[in-house]
Amino acid sequence: MADVYHALDDETRRLILDELARRNGQSLFELCSALTMRHGIGSTRQAISQHLAVLEAAGLVTTERRGRTKLHHFNREPLAVINERWPPAGKDL
Amino acid sequence: MRIHLTSIFVDDQRAARTFYTEVLGFEVRHEIPLGDDFWLTVVSPEAPDGPELLLEPSGHPAVKPYRDAMLEDGIPLAQFTVADLQAEYERLTSLGVLFTQPPTDIGTAHVAVFDDTCGNLIQLVAMKPAAT
């Protein structure tokens, strides 16, 4: 599985997760529209598709089919490694 | 110059005729037999002399890979305008139409995307009133 830290080390990929956190289950077309309209990201669909592949390889994005269309979901589970490595200070006390 | 006719490919012209008239509410403008197929166009009853949409047979071998890829990525191949997107979304959903994108505010308009059951995704758009 690809590295979570690497997957998060890119503003466009973080914005993709923001958009999926706002509403899960979006197609590539929809995500590209949201990135353009809401964030001024003018990347090509191919570039966004490659970013999604990195997020998917890291387990941060999962996909399902609605009809024949691929929809993307934000999976937060891999983020647990961050909290496990550096627990919030309060939890040590 | 003006746009008089545009086209989309459909898997089955008879099924497409039913979906585009009975579900979407368009009217058949031309239905001319051409061998095994038809020259089949529909228009909106709101603009009977407006642009025609040609529902074209999808037999050419290049059509399937092209449309499959567009479907997978959620990319609509035509765009229709409605006055009230939420009402149209509810009406079509109640008729069993599958939406890949629910009504979404994109700033200047509300948009949604549905599957036309003929191999295409269609975007519905309701423009917001211009700010005064």
Partners of residue A68 in chain B, C-beta under 8 Å: 68, 71-72, 115
Domain assignment of residue A78, yes or no: yes
Q: How many helices (H) and strands (E) does chain A have?
A: 5, 2
**Partner-chain residue, chosen from A28, A33, A68, that has the shortest CB–CB distance to B106:** A33
How many Å lie between the alpha carbon of A29 and the closest alpha carbon of chain B?
5
Q: Is the pLDDT of residue A1 over 60?
A: no
CATH architecture designation of domain B5-127: Roll (3.10)
Cβ contacts below 8 Å, chain A against chain B, sum to 53
Mean pLDDT of chain B: 95
Whether B44 and chain A come into contact, CB under 8 Å, resolves to no
Domain assignment of residue A93, yes or no: no
Q: What is the CATH number of the domain that holds A32?
A: 1.10.10.10
Partners of residue B121 in chain A, C-beta under 8 Å: 69
Domain assignment of residue A74, yes or no: yes
Domain assignment of residue A70, yes or no: yes
Residue of chain A nearest B120, judged by CA positions: A68
Residue B44, CA distances (Å) to A52, B49, B50, B53, B67 in order? 38, 9, 8, 9, 24
Predicted TM-score (pTM) of the model is: 0.89
pLDDT given at position B131: 66
Tell me if B72 and A30 make a contact (CB, 8 A cut-off): no
Domain assignment of residue A77, yes or no: yes
Domain assignment of residue A27, yes or no: yes
Mean pLDDT of A50-58: 97
How many other C-beta atoms lie within 10 A of the C-beta of residue A33? 20
B53: tokens are 């949409």
Residue A44 sits at the vertex; the CA angle it makes with A42 and A47, to the nearest 5 degrees, is 115
pLDDT given at position B14: 97
pLDDT digits (tens, 9 = 90+) for B39-85: 999 999 999 999 999 999 999 999 999 999 999 999 999 999 999 99
Report, in angstroms and rounded to the nearest whole number, the Rg of chain B calculated over CA atoms: 15
What domain range is A74 assigned to? 4-86
- Separation of alpha carbons B71 and A70, rounded Å: 8
